[in-house]
């Protein structure tokens, strides 16, 4: 399904106060960056790339969703973030009712800052809570206290944000079922309308992977993660936030429109270092490091490091990979019927969905989503 009438914008802010031991995102601390990149004027660099992007598209498309991610976008301050959003409004224009999200670390916001972001046109806040258990936060090397995320989410509601997400990580070594249940309950108590929950991925090159290699911590256990996933899913379903993507739950109407656009293989333009874009069947990615990225943007050059034209096969592959993970599933006609029948027999694909002409995962199928996708895509 390709909707070329609207466009989503992703804006990457590559700064964090400190790096969490598990994270391999394209983000840098002030010490890592040195004096080559000015954090306090980075919003101007991002705004310049926004202008450049709008010019490339010839002003033809308004923006339906904006997602500022990171890193820690709130390190730009409400004025920096509102400045970038102001440029998006000026250069592209927003469609009526556009969704405008920023991510934030729970300890990087104040009620005043949230009010200013709301005033500036942001409509949705997403905080990295990860857990409410002190032992888990410590292993994850998070800087915030256990109560900070609930507090930040409540402040966001009070500031007039109708849409508030919290991110959880489950399966951290040392986390118990009770820790996890406590985290889910705490998140729900904050009045959120959306939850993302990811199993802890041990990324190569992170402090976490070195600690595991040294034997200081055990690897997250797959069976424990599967049990935790079921606990989360049951609790969220009961609280009125059913799943709509394998790792995402929302009050109906609170689904993240930006991520849906991405999962439905619609068009998005990525602004910022390392950001990826997918527009009109072309894909490209920006230079990763903020220094060469800034140099290119300031010279008003396209800051991309590479690009490719997607073939029909690539597009189909992507539609299956992303679409199967959605509760709405994908049209039956896009995959091999015999394979689907085997997956139904194995309890991984929902037979009701199939009679409606869609491939939708059962809960068991969600736990094995990657394997189901591989199966559907092999000849």
Which residues bind to ligand SAM, rule: CB under 6 A? Answer: 22-23, 25, 69-70, 72, 103, 105, 128, 130, 167, 169, 198, 200-201, 203
User: Among ligand SF4, ligand SAM, none, what does residue 169 contact (CB within 5–8 Å per kind)?
Assistant: ligand SAM
Q: Is 201 in the site for ligand SF4 (CB under 6 A)?
A: no
The one segment of 4-12, 22-30, 50-58, 250-258 that binds ligand SF4 by CB under 6 A: 22-30
The minimum distance between CB 203 and ligand SAM, in angstroms, equals: 5
User: Which residue, chain included where needed, has tokens 């959605």?
Assistant: 326
Residue with smaller CB distance to ligand SAM, 54 or 76: 76
The overall longest dimension of the chain from CA atoms, in Å, is 60
User: Among ligand SAM, ligand SF4, none, what does residue 19 contact (CB within 5–8 Å per kind)?
Assistant: ligand SF4
Per 3-state DSSP, what percentage of the chain is helix, strand, and coil (rounded to 5)? 45, 20, 35
Three-state secondary structure readout of 282-294: EEEEECCCHHHHH
The minimum distance between CB 164 and ligand SF4, in angstroms, equals: 17
User: Among ligand SAM, ligand SF4, none, what does residue 201 contact (CB within 5–8 Å per kind)?
Assistant: ligand SAM
The minimum distance between CB 71 and ligand SF4, in angstroms, equals: 5
CB 111 within 8 A of CB 134: no
Interface of this chain with ligand SF4, residues 322 to 341, rule: CB under 6 A: none
Rg (C-alpha) for the chain, rounded Å, is 21
The single residue among 28, 37, 66, 71 that binds ligand SF4, judged by CB under 6 A, is 71
Residue with smaller CB distance to ligand SAM, 49 or 103: 103
- Strand order in 282-286's β-sheet? 243-245, 248-250, 194-199, 163-170, 124-130, 94-104, 63-70, 7-13, 268-271, 276-279, 282-286, 304-309
Residue with smaller CB distance to ligand SAM, 92 or 244: 244
- Eight-state DSSP code of residue 15: B
| C-alpha–C-alpha distance, residues 239 and 231, integer Å | 12
Q: Is 149 in the site for ligand SF4 (CB under 6 A)?
A: no
φ/ψ of residue 186, rounded to 5: -60, -45
Best CA proximity match to 118, nearest among 85, 72, 166 = 85
> What is the binding site for ligand SF4 (CB under 6 A)?
16, 19-20, 23, 25, 27, 70-72, 105, 128
């Amino acid at each position: 399904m390709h909707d070329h009438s609207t466009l989503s914008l992703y804006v990457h802010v590559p700064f964090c106060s400190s790096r969490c031991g598990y994270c391999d995102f394209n983000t840098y601390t002030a010490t890592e960056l040195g004096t080559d990149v000015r954090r306090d004027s980075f919003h101007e660099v991002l705004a310049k790339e926004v202008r450049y992007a709008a010019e490339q598209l010839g002003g033809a498309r308004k923006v339906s969703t904006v997602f500022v991610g990171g890193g820690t976008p709130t390190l730009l301050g409400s004025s920096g973030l509102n400045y970038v959003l102001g440029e998006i409004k000026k250069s592209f224009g927003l469609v009526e009712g556009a969704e405008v999200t920023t991510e934030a670390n729970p300890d990087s916001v104040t009620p005043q800052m949230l009010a200013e972001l709301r005033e500036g046109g942001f409509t949705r806040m997403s905080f990295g809570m990860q857990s409410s258990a002190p032992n888990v936060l410590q292993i994850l090397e998070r800087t915030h206290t256990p109560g900070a995320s609930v507090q930040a989410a409540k402040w966001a509601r009070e500031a007039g944000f109708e849409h508030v997400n919290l991110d959880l990580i489950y399966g951290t070594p040392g986390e118990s079922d009770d820790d996890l249940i406590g985290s889910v309950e705490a998140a729900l108590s904050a009045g959120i309308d959306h939850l993302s929950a990811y199993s802890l991925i041990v990324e190569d090159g992170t402090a976490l992977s070195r600690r595991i290699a040294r034997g200081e911590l055990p690897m997250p256990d797959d069976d424990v993660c599967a049990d935790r996933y079921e606990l989360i899913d049951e609790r969220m379903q009961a609280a009125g936030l059913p799943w709509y993507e394998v790792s995402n739950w929302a009050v109906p109407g609170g689904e993240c429109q930006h991520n849906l656009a991405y999962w439905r293989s619609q068009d998005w333009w990525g602004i910022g270092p390392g950001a990826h874009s997918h527009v009109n069947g072309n894909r490209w990615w920006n230079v990763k490091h903020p220094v060469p990225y800034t140099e290119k943007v300031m010279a008003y050059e396209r800051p991309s490091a590479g690009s490719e034209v997607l073939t029909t096969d690539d597009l189909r592959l992507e539609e299956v990979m992303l679409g199967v993970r959605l509760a709405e599933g994908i049209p039956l006609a896009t995959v091999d019927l015999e394979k689907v029948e085997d997956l139904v027999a194995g309890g991984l694909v929902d037979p009701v969905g199939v009679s409606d002409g869609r491939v939708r995962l059962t809960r068991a199928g969600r736990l094995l989503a990657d394997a189901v996708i591989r199966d559907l895509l092999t000849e």
